Amino acid sequence: MNLKDRIKALVELSKVLNKDNEELAAKVLQSKLYNQWFTEENSWKSIEAIKTQFLDESILNDWTSKYQIKDRSDIKKVGLVLAGNIPLVGWHDIMCCFVVGHKALIKLSDKDKFLTPFFIKQLEAIDSRTSQYFEIIERLKDFDAVIATGSNNTSKYFEHYFGKYPHIIRANRNAVAVLTGKETDEEIKNLGADIFEYFGLGCRNVSMCLVPQDLNWERYLNIWHEGYKQYAQHNKYKNNFDHNVSLFILNKTKYMISGSLIVKEDPSIASRISSMHYQCYNTQEGLTVYLTDNKDLIQCVVSSNEIEGIDTFRFGHAQQPKINDYADGVDTMNFLTTI
């Protein structure tokens, strides 16, 4: 297959990713029954994002035109160790390998093992030649390069085992929000989406807010409660919420609370499920220094204002990455086209 053929297959794939596809709907339900974090709403949200942001023909053509993608007879084998924090989070890596023309050796996350095989099966039904580009494996071996995503702990093992091969190793990251205190009600509600979507489990979810000293937290918490109180009805989320409240009480930790979110001052960017940290800033210069110094821990920054020297997303768009918004800021396509 040449690049044109592969793009055509991806565009055709987008046409079957609909709620009226009974087989896909069954896989979405199966994912929910197997992993309660993967609600049907969240799975369909991921599918729709892939369909509109990754599988649109004009987007694919514009994206691939920026790279030197050659027709190759020497297909490389790229091991992909996928994360499982949100539905289909590894699809972008799989798609990058396919577009470049490499074979993806896919180690699925045990938390997300139904939807990705469905996507691959559909591609093979569209064009049987795509089968040479995908292999789902239990153990990674006989590979030429690796892209592995995991926790801070597992990333150390990845570095040890895969360090001698061309590789991209990803560890924990989170999104940070910068507030001014002048946000509109609509902006605050949109920021809530960055905090709550996918139960805050994604690396692009906001887990830390940088705020001015005099922020009116009551206003923000009330808006988030009204907009996202339904999250507290989810069993696993509610269990985490109750556990964390109890823990903070026992440890005499100061915190603020709405019906579905716990907020506390804490310098750690990563926060527990159902909670969010904050720190105060005094100057724009200090804000820029903080974001720059912690760039290796930050996946993206959301703000209503531009911040000099920092790329930002608008509130409500943290979990809506475009096709060229690469995880950890590492250009996956550039890596794959040069191995």
Residue 309 pLDDT: 87
In this prediction, residue 181 has a pLDDT band, given cuts at 50, 70 and 90, of very high
Burial (Cβ within 10 Å: 0-12, 13-18, ≥19) of residue 246? exposed
In this prediction, residue 254 has a pLDDT band, given cuts at 50, 70 and 90, of very high
Q: Tell whether the model's pLDDT for residue 112 goes beyond 80.
A: yes
Q: Which candidate, 170, 160, 108, 162, places its Cα nearest to that of 328?
A: 170
Q: Tell whether the model's pLDDT for residue 68 goes beyond 80.
A: yes
In this prediction, residue 153 has a pLDDT band, given cuts at 50, 70 and 90, of confident
Residue 71 pLDDT: 83
List, in sequence order, every beta strand (DSSP E) within the chain. 77-81, 103-107, 134-136, 145-149, 167-170, 174-178, 206-211, 256-257, 262-265, 275-280, 298-303
Residue 76 pLDDT: 94
Q: Tell whether the model's pLDDT for residue 15 goes beyond 90.
A: yes
Stretch 10-33: mean pLDDT, rounded?
97
Asked if residues 307 and 37 have their Cβ atoms less than 8 Å apart, the reply is: no
Q: 């903080």: which residue's tokens?
A: 290
In this prediction, residue 18 has a pLDDT band, given cuts at 50, 70 and 90, of very high
What is the chain's mean pLDDT, rounded? 96
State the Cα–Cα distance between residues 151 and 167, nearest whole angstrom.
16
Asked if residues 99 and 3 have their Cβ atoms less than 8 Å apart, the reply is: yes
Write down the domain spans for the chain: 3-171, 174-303
Domain 3-171 belongs in CATH node 3.40.50.720: no
Instruction: Provide CB contacts within 8 A for 7, sequence distance 6+.
Output: 57, 60, 61, 64, 99
Q: How does DSSP classify residue 307?
A: B
Q: Tell whether the model's pLDDT for residue 72 goes beyond 80.
A: no
Is 3-171's fold the same as 174-303's? no
Task: Give the pLDDT confidence of 271-281 residue by residue, as tens digits.
Answer: 999 999 999 99
Stretch 48-54: mean pLDDT, rounded?
97
Residue 206 pLDDT: 98
Name the CATH code of domain 174-303 (choices 3.30.70.20, 3.30.1380.20, 3.40.50.300, 3.40.309.10): 3.40.309.10
Q: 């990251």: which residue's tokens?
A: 173
Q: Which candidate, 2, 134, 4, places its Cα nearest to that of 60?
A: 4
Residue 332 pLDDT: 98
State the Cα–Cα distance between residues 234 and 239, nearest whole angstrom.
9
Task: Give the pLDDT confidence of 229-249 residue by residue, as tens digits.
Answer: 999 999 999 999 999 999 999
Q: Tell whether the model's pLDDT for residue 152 goes beyond 90.
A: no
Residue 233 pLDDT: 94
Residue 45 pLDDT: 97
Tokens of 232: 């507290």
Stretch 23-52: mean pLDDT, rounded?
97
Stretch 303-308: mean pLDDT, rounded?
91
Residue 244 pLDDT: 96
Task: Give the pLDDT confidence of 187-225 residue by residue, as tens digits.
Answer: 999 999 999 999 999 999 999 999 999 999 999 999 999
Taking the chain, what is the end-to-end CA distance rounded to the nearest angstrom?
A: 19
| C-alpha dist (Å) from residue 130 to 24, 57, 71, 150, 258 | 19, 18, 14, 27, 49
Total Cβ atoms within 10 A of residue 127? 15
Q: Tell whether the model's pLDDT for residue 70 goes beyond 90.
A: no
